[in-house]
Structure 1
């Protein structure tokens, strides 16, 4: 799953985040079924017939925090998206529209001016002001806060109130990516008074949150559940909640979670284990849906000083991986093999010709063991060892690590699999010392904005999430040039070059992309099956069948 870049100074803070900033969403998987399932993409589910008193929702984990500065994973954001709102709204089709900012001006390449919507109130009834916006955004710049979203703000010079309802953000360099991030948790606005009053308790089960969304936090029973209740003073009538109450129950055991869905004890859930899809499709308890994703499962090359430092060896491994077989075994065939690190869904507003080139004018890396063996021989590294890090997080991780080891052995290299705890695996993404001696590890990396540059920006030289220290001056120049272009169609003409360079140089090895999975029980309907549920108030759209 994707994560915005974390500054090096915050590595210790990030490593402390409960199960898996980067792999937590994958924890919902169980041992995968090797039988491919019948699936197709859906943009929506049937509209509700009316309102409903309440429904229950299963989450694979309890949120680490509902503080937007730390809401950095599936468990956190699927709840927070219904309670707190951002300056912009990331819609199910991955377009951006006005949110708490009714409009955005871009008077110079380095400045964005947000005009704050009038008539919005927080859940305690106090009005939203520009001062609340300044206070909320400024927390991301405060080292004492240690925001997980700092990377979105790393070029911010100032955040100032410049009118009764205007807030101006000034950047050190031109960059439209800042504004595109304002539809994610990076753009969430909270009451300044609440932030001050709650202090260190803000966002936890004791302090709670006080935002502007269609639901407000009613109860948080630590280790058990979170209950939301409809906020009747919500400003947007088009998203007035259909259900008076939503109860999220924390169910870490995937088997128990699936059984609760199949029996009707729980009404719905995201992140359905691939092994359970056929079971739920065949039940009379509800319906399975598959929708838009922005995630790509990849092998991160974290050591370029070893055998994988030679491009020939990275190419050889790609050619030795039976990626379709891996998808069938790890994900029941739900998804598609990919040769690039983004999905078409995030190329919003791009030139169609650029998108076509970005996905077709690239190397395919077909399965070819003979050619792969020759590349390893030409590189002169036959017999050298490659270390793969994994963890007992899901069957998907076991399948991918074992298949990668087999592929390495098949082309004349030695493979060693090291298994660590889920917490230690999380540290791979935040602590450089945790990656010492590790050549490869798996991630399912999702994007939080409608632009592929979010992916390629983290692979520039020196970026925190460029885990292997890969460096390509041409790539850096292309990405930096693209990030200074406002028009998405014009920008995409440059971005395609970045995608092609990454495809050719393989700093990460793309495997496959799987759709967002959603199960709705027979009592409810209305949610769009899209990964935008991490930032869009999806629970408000659910009502009675």
Structure 2
């Protein structure tokens, strides 16, 4: 996951009145560069939760909530039609029921008792407006790709709407459990205009918390929604105030966590796990994810449009040494596939057999040199590696720099902010010819849904390579496209698996990405938190609900 896609991927995976303003003056958030821990605006009391984010959020608007810093903030304020429970099963959220009538038709019955935090009722007009907004090209939502296979969304009852798909899609049912299924107030969005979701414009939702302010580069403050529509059923939460603190520097964030200044650190660097283990205030929660970290080769740009160049670099990397010395508990040793074992959720034996027999780019300087010699650049070349501010990705960039130097490639490292790397991954800076600006970049992805195609379609489908798209290698292969579309349209798990493995045969041979690990999420949790974090799964970025966190 992160953000996403373009045009026509057909079958993807597919309060008191709001204050309405924030303390920042810029609508383009930038992370803090000082390394100092922001001072919360709310005193640290028993009912205040302080959360450390490794990057600035993109927006408070769920249309742009598609990364691991933005999502945990946004999902406290706006709510989705469906949600994942602790077993990753779909449950009703703002709906009271839903049904797959046939492979092309889904009917949703919406709750008629929901209110926004300002007390105004949520109407069907708000629901349809919100869903149409994700699909609107002028909005350019990062979740728009999830709707590419939708033919129509129409109201079919007083509190009912029906979705018609263009073609059968086994994964459509998951869409409304993501931020692509969050509902907004039409009146508030239209009143705020372009400032909606910004520090100045704020956001209005139906969720258990309300937006108070967003100090760009410092913190986002939320308070409990005293008008919460589901208050009587759920009861009031232990947490009444949330302060999300933006702390990009790993050491500073860990120090804030181990000293008790923040309660929850959502990104713990593996090289500092010793500090976590020796602290009296915190413990480590490790969550096996459906995510991966990878090198993205810009296949539109020379020399990385040459498959032999990509193979040469893949062979030059010693994945075993990288895992042992750098990755450690951060991730699981790569199987050279974009699909981690956590997504072998059906036809598992077939997936495991393929994992053993598939093409692997195991470390071999000899093969690396042979591949480069077979390319159009046998004498090497200069290039740049774009990387974010995280310590582990910078360590990987250094290892990569040293590895490719052995075969005559001179790589420099270009460090950019975490939120800039997110923007680049989804097409920021594409030139007039549609070419992305980087050579090699280190990105991450996590499957949006509990399914292998939650990785394959976003990263490899060709229409996802443009602005807003997650195909950051700009990879194009018509046969892969056809196979991915065919598998998405099938409801037969055996057939889907066979089609995906056929696509992987091609993908592995053309190596548009080099997968260097499958992630584990490492959360540092203050000991006063007794529940609400330890049961999270790989889909935590959709359902880390602070209302469920209990304080001892």
Class of the TM-score when normalised by the shorter of the 2 chains = 0.7 to 0.9
**Residue matched to 2:268:** 272
How far does residue 333 in structure 1 lie from its aligned partner after superposition? 4.6
Which range moves more in the overlay, 498-507 or 129-138?
498-507
The reply to whether residue 482 of structure 1 matches residue 487 of structure 2 is yes
Structure 2 residue runs without a partner (length 5+): 9-26, 36-44
TM-score of the superposition, structure 1-length normalised? 0.83
What is the deviation of 1:122?
Answer: 2.5
- Residue 385 (structure 2) pairs with residue 389 (structure 1): yes
Q: Which residue of 1 aligns with 2:63?
A: 69
Matched ranges for 1:216-227 at <5 A: 216-222=210-216, 223-227=218-222
Residue 161 (structure 2) pairs with residue 174 (structure 1): no
Give 3-state SS (helix, strand or coil) of 1:417's partner: strand
> Which residue of 2 is the match for residue 460 of structure 1?
461
Which of these residues, 371, 374, 377, is aligned with residue 370 of structure 2?
Answer: 374
**Is the contact made by 1:289 and 1:529 (CA closer than 8 Å) also made in structure 2?**
no
Specify which of 491, 495, 500 is matched with residue 496 of structure 2: 491
- Measured against aligned partners, the alpha-carbon deviations of 1:313-339 in whole angstroms (never above 9, x if no partner) come to 433322220123333444445312211
CA distance in 1, matches of 2:415, 2:523: 30
Identify which of 534, 538, 541 aligns with 2:545: 538
Task: State which of 112, 121, 127 in structure 1 corresponds to 2:115.
Answer: 121
Matches within 5 A, 1:235-274: 235=230, 237=233, 241-274=237-270
Look up the match of 2:40.
none
- Please give the residue correspondences for 1:267-416 in structure 2 after superposition, counting only pairs within 5 Å: 267-303=263-299, 306-338=302-334, 339-348=336-345, 350-379=346-375, 381-385=377-381, 387-391=383-387, 393-410=389-406, 412-416=407-411
In structure 2, relative to structure 1, the CA distance for the partners of 1:316 and 1:253 (3 Å cut) is: closer
Do the aligned partners of 1:354 and 1:496 also contact (CA within 8 Å) in 2? no
The residue number in structure 1 matching 2:156 is: 162
**Paired residue for 1:442?**
442
Counterpart CA distance in 2 for 1:262 and 1:214 is: 28
The answer on whether the counterparts of 2:291 and 2:444 sit within 8 Å (CA) in structure 1 is: yes
**1:53-110, Cα deviation, whole Å (9 max, x unpaired):** 3332222344231111122322221111222221221344444333223333333443
Q: C-alpha displacement at 1:289, in angstroms? A: 1.0
How far 1:290 sits from its partner (Å)? 0.7
Match of 1:520 among 505, 520, 525: 525
Q: How does 1:178-189 map to 2 (within 5 A)?
A: 178-189=172-183
CA deviations on 1:513-543 (whole Å, 9 max, x unpaired) are: 2211111112112113444332114312211
**Is the CA contact (8 Å cut-off) linking 2:306 and 2:376 kept in structure 1?**
no
Q: CA deviation at 1:239?
A: 8.5
Secondary structure of the residue aligned to 1:170 is strand
Equivalences for residues 110-149 of structure 1 within 5 A: 110-149=104-143
Equivalent residues of 2:287, 2:522 under 8 A apart: yes
- What corresponds to 2:204 in structure 1? 210
CA distance in 2, matches of 1:177, 1:386: 42
C-alpha distance in 2 between matches for 1:372 and 1:219: 52
Distance, in Å, in 2 between the alignment partners of 1:309 and 1:471 is 11
Query: Residue 484 of structure 1: CA displacement?
Result: 0.9
Aligned residue for 1:432, secondary structure, equals coil
Higher relative contact order (CA 8 A, sep 6+): 1
CA 1:117–1:65: 2 relative to 1, 3 Å = same
Change (3 A) 1:242 1:344: farther
Q: CA deviation at 1:220?
A: 4.2
Q: Which runs of 5+ in 1 are unaligned?
A: 9-15, 30-50
Instruction: Give the structure-2-normalised TM-score.
Output: 0.82
SS of the equivalent of 1:513 reads strand
Distance in 2 (alpha carbons) for counterparts of 1:71 and 1:139: 14
1:304–1:310 CA contact under 8 A, matched in 2: no
Alpha-carbon separation, structure 2, partners of 1:197 and 1:219: 18
